[in-house]
Amino acid sequence: MKYFIPTPAISKLELGFFTIHYYALCILLGILAAIIIGRVRYQDRGGNPSEISDVALFAIPAGIIGGRLYHVITSPDRYFGVGGAPLDAVKVWQGGLGIWGAVALGTLVAYLVFKRGDKSQSFGVFADALAPGLLVAQGIGRFGNWFNGELFGKPTKLLWGLEIPQNLRPIGYENYSTFHPTFLYEALWCFAGAALISNSKFLREFLRGRASGDLFIAYIAFYCFGRIWIELLRIDTAHLIFGLRVNVWVSGLGFVLASARLFWPRRANGHYGHTQEVG
Mean pLDDT computed over 79-108? 83
Model pLDDT for residues 163-191, shown as the tens digit of each residue: 999 999 999 999 999 999 999 999 999 99
User: What whole-number distance in Å separates Cα of residue 178 and Cα of residue 161?
Assistant: 5
Ranges 56-65, 148-157, 189-198, 259-268: which has the least confidence: 259-268
Mean pLDDT computed over 254-260? 96
Ranges 85-99, 102-116, 213-227, 258-272: which has the least confidence: 258-272
pLDDT class of 17 with cuts at 50, 70, 90: confident
Mean pLDDT computed over 238-248? 92
pLDDT at 268: 37
Mean pLDDT computed over 3-24? 87
pLDDT at 2: 61
Average pLDDT, the chain: 89
